[in-house]
Amino acid sequence: MSNKIYIFDSTLRDGEQTPGARLNFDEKLEVARQLARLKVDVIEAGFPISSPGEFKAVREISRQVKGPAICALARCLPGDIDSAWEAIKDAEHPRIHVFLASSPIHMRYKLKQDPEACLHQAVEAVKYAKKFTSDIEYSPEDATRSDEQYLYRLLEQVIEAGATVINIPDTVGYALPEEFGALIRRLRENIPGMERVTLSVHCHNDLGLAVANSLAAIENGARQVECNINGIGERAGNAALEEIAVALYLKKSHYPFYTGLNLQEIYRTSRLVSKLTGIPVPMNKAVIGVNAFAHSSGIHQDGVLKHKETYEIIDAELIGGKAAQMILTARSGRHAVKHQLERLGFTLEEEQLETLYTRYLELADKKKEVYLEDLEALAIDFLFAAEPTYRLDYLQTVSGSKSIPVAVIRLIRDDGELIEEMAVGSGPIDAAFNAINKIAGLDILLDNYRLRAVTRGRDALGEVSLNMSLSKQKTITGRGTSTDIVEASVKAYLDGLNKLLKINGVNHNQPE
């Protein structure tokens, strides 16, 4: 049995199903490129049948991202499989991942089919997918709540039909490590042909056990782990890639396995996914939270100063975390800024670099020290901002404990016209948003608003991400940064507005 653990990353598929996480085409492509730098084995790029935009993103990832296998998800339906293949057929290593529920509760209430009909459908889907590519993964959804004898028959037949990877999902995070590990062992021992396929697991974190269950599965014969950056995903999330990877690395004496991951890219990948999805990493998140290497207790501080390993089992340099401590100033030249951008994984054309350097200098004039996190936030805002229908020209707000908050906003439309409006609100940010709505002539729904400091200090760069939609249609994420939180909020709102206008094809010259 192989000692390699294959890392199947589902950040772009299951991870993007996190409420509030929305990635556009360019953002998905950049995350996929970064996952390739991390050297995951498989990128589940998406669910192509779900929308034209999803199909386009999966297709371009397949064409442009080399190294990992590119996987597309499909239900056990010919139309889904056709769409999946069309999206990934240009990939260096294409894989089709078909799934169908196998638990009594799913078959009865969701599919409204009997078990034998589901078994037949699964087998026929694998045979059909096999016509397109040799690499076929099959998942019995909600496997941990399925009848085990039924699983034996089902998986034996899909292996016979041509599946090369059998994935066991703990779809609702129901299993405990001991029982999940035992299930994996029994599947290996009782299903003919299992030795010919890669046994995979996909664990959700509803009971906080996704990583523990994944490791228990590895101990019992699983050789592929499906996981997401930062543990994002449906409900309570999925198994966190970074936690599994570092656990396997640090506990080699217990887990005599290896991955092909470039662990130095973990910190960078975590930050990128967090910023683009708008989902912050909890401060105390294992491995990559900002407090993972912080010590406040006097006893802990004394121990770490004397010998780091007294209280730190993970070296920040292992995951590329130390790079974030580099500091730039207003005296740092273009070459230094370009070098640090390249270290962060950004390659810019000369014209792009000039524009970004101008923005960097504006920030450096406001802050004495510019951290790499600041530079990274500037780069992401610049590279992934929507094509501007509206740009901010002027902003002024008035507020106080005994005054009505008022905002004056002047925007430049893409036809060159300057438009100015004033509005009141419950606070200066709300007033500014109301003024923008008046200019755009749209009733925009704000679903979520998040503000965080990129670095420490009173002059820290503020980073705002928010979720917006028109008439409860597709929700998008807008982002903005500034040392002024009102300005950062306005930039994020405009970024979201420009994305909504592009997606919905609204004619901004004729406000609704």
Q: Given this model, what pLDDT does residue 339 score?
A: 87
Tens digit of pLDDT for each residue in 106-115? 999 999 999 9
Residue 305 has pLDDT above 80, yes or no: no
Tens digit of pLDDT for each residue in 238-281? 999 999 999 999 999 999 999 999 999 999 999 999 989 888 88
Collapsed DSSP state (helix, strand, coil) of residue 398: strand
d(CA 142, CA 136): 19
Q: Given this model, what pLDDT does residue 384 score?
A: 86
Tens digit of pLDDT for each residue in 388-444? 899 999 999 999 988 999 999 999 999 999 999 999 999 999 999 999 999 999 989
Residue 508 has pLDDT above 90, yes or no: no
- Which of the four pLDDT bands, split at 50, 70 and 90, describes residue 505? low
Q: Given this model, what pLDDT does residue 138 score?
A: 98
Residue with the larger pLDDT of the pair 368 and 393:
393
Residue percentage of the chain with pLDDT more than 70: 93
Tens digit of pLDDT for each residue in 118-175? 999 999 999 999 999 999 999 999 999 999 999 999 999 999 999 999 999 999 999 9
d(CA 454, CA 477): 18
Domain ranges of the chain: 6-277, 326-383, 390-504
Q: Given this model, what pLDDT does residue 300 score?
A: 47
Tokens (6 digits) for 465:
């991400």
Q: Given this model, what pLDDT does residue 429 score?
A: 97
Torsional sign, CA 242, 246, 248, 254: negative
Torsional sign, CA 87, 91, 97, 98: positive
Asked if 6-277 and 390-504 have one fold, the answer is no
* 217 Cβ neighbours under 8 A, 6+ residues apart: 168, 180, 181, 184, 201, 203, 225
Q: Given this model, what pLDDT does residue 470 score?
A: 87
CATH level 3 topology of 390-504: Double Stranded RNA Binding Domain (3.30.160)
Is there a contact between 321 and 315 (Cβ–Cβ < 8 Å)?
Answer: no
CATH 3.20.20.70 fits 6-277, yes or no: yes
Stretch 473-481: mean pLDDT: 86
